[in-house]
A and B are shown apart, each in its own frame.
Chain A
Amino acid sequence: GENVEQHPSTLSVQEGDSAVIKCTYSDSASNYFPWYKQELGKRPQLIIDIRSNVGEKKDQRIAVTLNKTAKHFSLHITETQPEDSAVYFCAATSITGNQFYFGTGTSLTVIP
């Protein structure tokens, strides 16, 4: 099965700085890569996703990049704000969409 590794496990940045979270995957058949944000005690919520036919996707302060050859994808958050503090999860799934494989999460703290 797929193996998704996520780094770093914790990340602290000053407000206004950028944050980058990286994930690698093992199955070359994976072709859909969502990112979820989970605030303390809340449900995971999708913040951005990317499909394998695209190298980069951006939504305001959030962007995701995908390198299919190297089998890694990254989440970039610019101009971080305290409300960005949360745990972020990456995931990967194959074309059938039957199973999603999640990374172990990155706890992001934005220091005011």
Chain B
Amino acid sequence: NAGVTQTPKFRVLKTGQSMTLLCAQDMNHEYMYWYRQDPGMGLRLIHYSVGEGTTAKGEVPDGYNVSRLKKQNFLLGLESAAPSQTSVYFCASSYYLGLNPNQPQHFGDGTRLSIL
């Protein structure tokens, strides 16, 4: 199993450009998440999904959109990139087990995004 795979690993954008980050998992997980990690601020949740076709806002959703058309994929879009979105982006996934829903998250290797 590859686990959680993120593409691309690195990207440099100019202000105003758009791009999509792809997250794919092969563990048949129901839940998927997008985080951003900035120095001294830990991991902050951008958007998440509890199943195919569903998405929800996290702590810092502004400037981002997501889609989950297939259970194994979770896409994060930046419509008009801004320098404040320079960060390392991590995707994660986890099981949902009904009465015991809290299961550990499995993370991808991250995408380092710089916006000039």
Contact = CB atoms under 8 A, between A and B. Distances in A.
Contacts of B105: 34, 46, 100
Contact of B90 (A43, A46, A93, A104): A43
A44 B43 contact: yes
Interface string B37-50: 00011111100101
B31 interface: yes
B102 A104 contact: no
Nearest to B50: A98
Interface in B25-83: 31, 33, 40-45, 48, 50, 56, 58-59
A89 to B, nearest CB: 6
B107 A98 contact: no
Interface of A: 1, 6, 9, 31-32, 34, 36, 42-46, 49, 51, 89, 91, 93, 95-105
Interface of B: 31, 33, 40-45, 48, 50, 56, 58-59, 90, 94, 96, 101-110
Given A51-B102, A97-B31, A105-B42, 16 more contacts: A31-B102, A34-B105, A42-B109, A44-B107, A89-B42, A89-B43, A96-B101, A97-B103, A98-B31, A98-B48, A98-B50, A99-B59, A100-B33, A101-B45, A104-B40, A105-B40
